[in-house]
Amino acid sequence: MSGNESETLELTRALIAQNTIYPPGHEEKAAAVVASKLREAGVGSIVYEILPRRTNLVARLAGTGEKPGLAFSAHFDTIDVDLDKWSVDPFAGEIRDGKLYGRGTADMKGGMAAMTMAMIAIARSGERLKGDLVLTFSAAENSDCLGAKRLVADGHLDGVGALLISEPSGNLPLVTEKGALWLRVTANGEYAHNAFTEDRVGDRGNAIIRLTRYLDKAHDLKLNVPAHRHVKPPTINIGVIRGGHEAAFVPSKASADIDIRLAPGLSPEAVLAEFHAIAGPYINVEILDNKPAVDTPDDHPFVELCVAACRAETGRDVGPGGVGYYTDGAIICPALGLPMVIVGPGEIGMSGAIDEYVDVEKLETSALIFERIARDYLG
């Protein structure tokens, strides 16, 4: 294995310095950093817009064609920061007590830098592998996964046989991710000035009251799904609520957006039916987006290869696990029928955290894990 520790750290800090918080995204800035680093190593890349200033990057290290390719997946966009709560500059890349701090260190510019350096290490070696190694770095993962959808539609993953994603996992191999079903609930009311509603009773035609009474039931809804070997039952979160005109008027409409994290085995149609079942005559429920759960069997050869690589580089006897977040794998794997494994240096739960960090040792080790997986799968 090649030692790229210092370059991995340097590239991660350069990526952190680029503010790619969504909204608005502006992933082009981070894509330019990766493209420049690849170019220095003699590796070409394609950088293209999916929306203004929102870009995907694809780089391909061509193999001999004897084996299917391997895709490295990561995304450029990051979650917003509350500057008043941070103790460090989220874009400065401060290193303290063996930890690199900054927005995106864990989710997932650290993993992106390590994947980039793994490709560069193989390119520098001059060895030609039997299959293509492809970087597929996307925009817009934190919203609608439009970048991943374009990667699939544009054919950049054609010929790939497996997907490795560097989302936070603490360098442990994860094979299951929950799906994300987003619903919008809309309540209709009867608009009126409050001064003239003395004769109204019950909810008094108030859309906000109708909505909140529905949301109280939705919050406590128990979704029936078989127990899963790696992930816990579904969770329901009411994340956004809106409605009303001004204080003196009965609102005629109110709505809320709900995030449901689905374990494998539960269809969006079944969930939607349960949300309809608790709705009254003034409530409408619709699907905004659905990112299906992904579940690769523990005994799949690619999983076993990744588990062995993690064990070899970390010295830990680790087995496959699962996680509650979604990744671009939710788009890519169902479309192309690919096995997926998540391995990333960030800690699970660090996504969007105050004072987000990545452990420097795990960051450096992840580049070696990625290089080993590529060599073992494509060699």
Q: Domain end: 273, 291, 309, which one?
A: 291
Give per-residue pLDDT as tens, 161-209: 999 999 999 999 999 999 999 999 999 999 999 999 999 999 999 999 9
The confidence score (pLDDT) of residue 317 equals 87
> Residues 47, 157: one domain?
yes
pLDDT score of 318 = 85
Q: Does residue 95 sit in the same domain as residue 32?
A: yes
19 and 166 share one domain: yes
pLDDT above 70 for 3 = no
Q: Do 31 and 79 belong to one domain?
A: yes
As a whole number, mean pLDDT of residues 135-159 equals: 97
Per-residue pLDDT tens digits for 209-250: 999 999 999 999 999 888 999 999 999 999 999 999 999 999
Q: Dihedral sign for Cα 339, 149, 142, 45, please.
A: positive
Residue 5: per-residue pLDDT: 54
| Average pLDDT over every residue of 276-287 | 96
**One domain for residues 66 and 40:** yes
Region of residue 315 (phi > 0: left; psi between -120 and 50: alpha; otherwise: beta): left
The model's pLDDT over 295-313, given as tens digits with 9 standing for 90+, comes to: 999 999 999 999 999 999 9
- Number of domains comprising the chain: 2
Helix H, strand E, coil C: the string for 255-281 is EEEEEEEECCCCCHHHHHHHHHHCCCC
Contacts of 201 (CB under 8 A, 6+ apart): none
Q: Same domain, yes or no, for 338 and 327? A: yes
Domain boundary among 245, 274, 291: 291
Q: What is the pLDDT of residue 4?
A: 47
pLDDT at 1 (0 to 100): 43
Residues of the domain holding 23: 5-177+293-378
Domain end point (choices 267, 291, 315): 291
pLDDT at 143 over 70: yes
* Secondary structure element (H or E) that encloses residue 151, with its range: helix 146-153
- Put the strands of the sheet holding 99-101 in their side by side order: 95-96, 99-101, 357-359
The two tokens of residue 257 are 């957006």
CATH code (residue 227):
3.30.70.360
Same domain, 32 and 113: yes
**Domain of 155: which CATH number?**
3.40.630.10
Contact 134, 74 (CB under 8 A): no
Answer yes or no: do 42 and 170 share one domain. Answer: yes
Instruction: Give residues with Cβ within 8 angstroms of 152, minimum separation 6.
Output: 331, 332, 335, 336
Task: Characterize 216-239 residue by residue with b for buried, 16 or more Cβ atoms within 10 angstroms of its Cβ, and e for exposed.
Answer: eebeeeebebeebebbebbebebe
Six-digit token string for 6:
């210092």
**End-to-end CA separation in angstroms for the chain:** 14
DSSP lists the bridge partners of residue 68 as: none
Q: Let me know whether 87 and 158 are in one domain.
A: yes
Question: pLDDT-based confidence at 329, cuts 50/70/90?
Answer: very high
Query: Is the same domain home to 217 and 243?
Result: yes
Name every residue whose Cβ is closer than 8 Å to that of residue 153 and which is 6 or more positions away in sequence.
none
Note the pLDDT tens digit of each residue in 67-87: 999 999 999 999 999 999 999
The percent of residues above 70 in pLDDT, for the chain, comes to 99
